[in-house]
Amino acid sequence: MPNIVVHHLNNSKSQRVLWVLEELGLEYEIMFYKRNPGFAPPEMKQVHPLGKAPAVVIDGVVMAESGAIVEYLVDRYGSGTLAPDRSSAHYGHYLEMMHYPEGSFSMPVVFPLFIGAFGVQSEAFQGYAQSQIALQLDYVSGLLKDRDYLVDNRFTAADLQITFILQTARGLGFLGDRPDLLAYVGRLEDRPAYKRAIEKGGPFDLSFGR
Nearer to ligand GSH, 52 or 170 (CB): 52
Beta partners for residue 151, in sequence order: 154
Strand residue runs (E) in 138-184: none
Q: Are 90 and 84 in contact (CB under 8 A)?
A: yes
User: Which candidate, 26, 159, 154, places its Cα nearest to that of 85?
Assistant: 154
Q: Which of 166, 172, 153 is nearest to 194 (CA)?
A: 166
Q: Which of residues 34-63 bind ligand GSH (CB under 6 A)?
A: 39-40, 52-54
Nearer to ligand GSH, 65 or 81 (CB): 65
Of 47 and 53, nearer to ligand GSH (C-beta) is 53
Choice between 53 and 58, CB closer to ligand GSH = 53
Total residues at the site for ligand GSH (CB under 6 A)?
A: 13
Neighbours of 38 (CB within 10 A): 8
Among 4, 7, 8, 9, binds ligand GSH (CB under 6 A): 9
- The nearest distance, CB 14 to ligand GSH, in angstroms, is 7
Residue 102 lies near ligand GSH (rule: CB under 6 A): yes
CB of 124 to ligand GSH, least distance (A): 26
- Report the 10 Å Cβ neighbour count for 135: 12
> In angstroms, what is the minimal distance from the CB of 69 to ligand GSH?
7
Cβ at position 134, least distance to ligand GSH in Å: 22
**Piece of the chain touching ligand GSH by CB under 6 A; list 6-14, 77-85, 126-134, 192-200:** 6-14
Rg (the chain; Cα; Å)? 17
φ, ψ for residue 122, nearest 5 deg:
-65, 115
Binding to ligand GSH in span 59-98, by CB under 6 A:
64-67
φ, ψ dihedrals at 62, nearest 5°: -90, 135
Q: What are the Cα distances from residue 196, in Å, to 11, 20, 53, 86, 208?
A: 15, 11, 19, 29, 23
53 or 188: CB nearest ligand GSH = 53
Query: Given the rule CB under 6 A, which residues bind ligand GSH?
Result: 9, 12-13, 39-40, 52-54, 64-67, 102
